Amino acid sequence: MTAQPRHTLFSPSRVLAIASNTFLELVRAKVFVLLTVFALVIIAGSFFLERLSFLQQFQMLKDAALGAMSIFTWLLSILATAMLLPKDIEDRTLYTILAKPVPRFEYLIGKLLGVLQLLLVSTLIMSFAFGAVLFFRQQWAIAEAIQSAGGAKAAAETVAAITKEIKASTFSGSLIPAIVAIYLKAALCASLTLLISTFSSSMIFTVMVSFACSLIGYIQPVAREYWINGPEQASALTKVMFMFIALLFPDLQLFNLVDDVAAGNAVSTALFLKTAGIGVIYVFVYLFLGYWFFSEKEL
Amino acid sequence: MKRVVTGLVILLAFGAAKLRFEQSLDAEYKAEFFRGAKIDLSVREQVGQVGFIAALSGFRAVIADGLYLTAFNAFANMQWGRMVLLFNNVTTLQPRMIQYWNEAAWHMAYNAATAAREDPFQPKESLRIKAEREYWKLGRDFLERGIRNNPDHYQLYDTLGTLLRDKFKDHCAAAEAFAKAAECKDALGYEKRFAAYEMAECPGKEREAYELLLKYYNLGEGERLPTLLKYLGRLQEALHIPQNQRVYIQPEKHH
């Protein structure tokens, strides 16, 4: 007689099973089609800008690609997460899972991990596509510049200088933290959407509130500054309103490194780690609050 | 209901706990020249409501690129006034983009100024000269604002030095700009020499310039460039440096 496996309070394998199913469900929902649009944006953008100098072309290519990555991961995080709970309720999958000895927090963690996996794969594919197009344009620009400098007759020193200058204006180490920050922002938005979906009554409500919360998150630092250091003559009501915005919403501008990194700014490791740290804390807090509401939700 | 209120209280408590941390992170980012864009109503007028929201939502680089392309078209059509407005917004959205400041200044101080000087619709030369100088000032203003936003990069000091030297003929200010460029960590080797050349042209600074040029001369063959030698020779004469202390003998004197 074989012994029954002991039921544990928390099982990583159960969580991973839910996560991988969630990921597969999302892949089947053809969310990756969005990535084709991204590829078209950067490839079209790289050719559209041919009349500009190569430095300007690289700059705009980086701005457009990083901006598109930022908006696509943001959209994906909200839309993919918002459909999870309503879809599971509609398909009755949720009841099948929770009827088994699967605690609700495991279910939520699994769902979030599935979305985070999807976001990670999407971010990696977009980064790879962006890197490939940038590399292709870089090689093209180097070949063109060498040709203008005299082709095969150009002095080795000139060729080296051209190559160095063009390479310096394409890839920089700061692009990596900027892309990681894009992913963290998307992860934060996903956990916030999951939190909202635990008490929302419909998918459309979840999507609308999540978009609104994200937009408020972008102006949260302005509200915070106004509340803390604003003019004394500001009305008490205004200050209270800004206080609530500062306390309830995340500062999404902290994760918006792309604009400045694309302009050539470098972010220090310590500062980036602090940003990543607050991002991870946000994800955990929103997940905990999501469980707080979901644990007592009548299904 | 009790659960909702408790959830809200937890969120507010977390908000209070993270507030100081977020504030200090914000300050650290600003110290590293991040988040310097001050998006105002002028940008709102140029980019419309959707663009304004997009700029606030982390897409300001893309919006700045769009405005830059519009400015590029304005340049092609020689719409100088429109260009000033557009470049003001481009640089407001991307204050750390040296290229935008540099280009805005170049368009104003060189292209727009030349067009104003040669304006076929303005018969009065005095007014054409006045318009030309106004554009120089606009170029200088772009560079000075750019420097305030990017004090750690040499390029804008260099362009400012060149503008002050070539257009304003203010050699003292140009020397200062080149000297500041030379202090930047990524400065090119010629900045310090340029600062010395301009100092040599600045009344009252001849002795200081001579000592600087002498210092660079003594650094070795690599620094003994024709312009440096020309200024060194001229200052030796002007300052009546005794023959036995002169390090450089001008060719014409030699013959």
**Residue B73 contacts A, CB cutoff 8 Å:** no
Best-predicted range by mean pLDDT (A22-31, A34-43, B128-137): B128-137
CA A182, CA A235: separation in Å to the nearest integer?
36
Element (H, E) at A25: helix A12-28
Class of residue A233 by CB neighbours under 10 A (exposed 0-12, middle 13-18, buried 19+): exposed
**Residue B188 contacts A, CB cutoff 8 Å:** no
B128-146 average pLDDT score: 95
Predicted ipTM beyond 0.85? no
**Residue B7 contacts A, CB cutoff 8 Å:** yes
Please determine, for residue A19, whether its predicted confidence score (pLDDT) is greater than 90.
yes
**pLDDT value of residue B37:** 76
Q: Which among B10, B25, B56 has the least Cβ separation from residue A289?
A: B10
Please determine, for residue B48, whether its predicted confidence score (pLDDT) is greater than 80.
no
The pLDDT mean for chain A works out to 86
B165-173 average pLDDT score: 95
Q: Which residue of B has its CA nearest to A244?
A: B12
A228–B65 C-beta distance less than 8 A: no
Per CB-CB distance under 8 Å, the chain A contacts of B6 are: 292
Pair A113, A191: CB distance under 8 Å: no
Q: Which residue of A has its CA nearest to B97?
A: A263
B61-79 average pLDDT score: 89
- Per-residue pLDDT band for A51 (boundaries 50, 70, 90) equals low
SS3 of residue A231 by DSSP: coil
**pLDDT value of residue A230:** 79
A274–B25 C-beta distance less than 8 A: yes
**pLDDT value of residue A5:** 65
Of A147 and A212, the structure prediction assigns the larger pLDDT to: A212
Of A173 and B103, the structure prediction assigns the larger pLDDT to: B103
- 117-136 in chain B: CB under 8 A from chain A: none
> B98: phi > 0 → left, psi -120 to 50 → alpha, else beta; which?
alpha
Q: How many Cβ pairs within 8 Å bridge chains A and B?
A: 115
Q: Which among A63, A265, A285 has the least Cβ separation from residue B34?
A: A265
Percent of all residues in chain B with a pLDDT value above 90, rounded to a whole number: 52
A192, A210, A260, best to mutate vs chain B, most B CBs in 10 Å: A260
Please determine, for residue B202, whether its predicted confidence score (pLDDT) is greater than 70.
yes
B196-201 average pLDDT score: 94
- Per-residue pLDDT band for A24 (boundaries 50, 70, 90) equals very high
Of A188 and B226, the structure prediction assigns the larger pLDDT to: A188
- Per-residue pLDDT band for A46 (boundaries 50, 70, 90) equals low
B26–A254 C-beta distance less than 8 A: yes
Per CB-CB distance under 8 Å, the chain B contacts of A191 are: none
Closest Cα to residue B7, out of A280, A282, A291, A211?
A291
SS3 of residue A102 by DSSP: coil
- Per-residue pLDDT band for A48 (boundaries 50, 70, 90) equals low
- Beta-carbon contacts of A2 under 8 Å, excluding residues fewer than 6 positions away, are none
Per CB-CB distance under 8 Å, the chain B contacts of A293 are: 3-4, 7
Q: Compute how many other C-beta atoms are within 10 angstroms of the C-beta atom of residue A215.
A: 15
DSSP string, B18-86: HHHHHHHHHHHHHHTT-S-----HHHHHHHHHHHHHHHHTT-HHHHHHHHHHHHHHHHHTT-HHHHHHH
B94–A259 C-beta distance less than 8 A: yes
Q: What is the pTM of this model?
A: 0.83
Q: Which among B3, B36, B56 has the least Cβ separation from residue A219?
A: B56
A203-217 average pLDDT score: 93
Q: Which of A278-292, B41-55, B128-142 has the lowest mean pLDDT?
A: B41-55
Of A264 and B164, the structure prediction assigns the larger pLDDT to: B164
Closest Cα to residue A286, out of A222, A219, A197?
A197
Domain ranges for chain A, please list them: 12-294
**pLDDT value of residue A157:** 76
CA A221, CA B44: separation in Å to the nearest integer?
19
- Per-residue pLDDT band for A3 (boundaries 50, 70, 90) equals low
CA A199, CA B6: separation in Å to the nearest integer?
14
A178-207 average pLDDT score: 94
- In angstroms, what separates the C-alpha of B116 from chain A's closest C-alpha? 25
**pLDDT value of residue A49:** 66
B94–A263 C-beta distance less than 8 A: yes
CA A293, CA A220: separation in Å to the nearest integer?
24
- In angstroms, what separates the C-alpha of B169 from chain A's closest C-alpha? 31
B15–A60 C-beta distance less than 8 A: no
**pLDDT value of residue B49:** 75
Q: What tokens were used for A214?
A: 């994200």
**pLDDT value of residue A100:** 84
Per CB-CB distance under 8 Å, the chain B contacts of A288 are: 10
Per CB-CB distance under 8 Å, the chain A contacts of B94 are: 259, 263
Query: What is the signed CA dihedral for B43, B47, B49, B52, rounded to 10 degrees?
Result: -50
The pLDDT mean for chain B works out to 88
- Per-residue pLDDT band for A98 (boundaries 50, 70, 90) equals confident
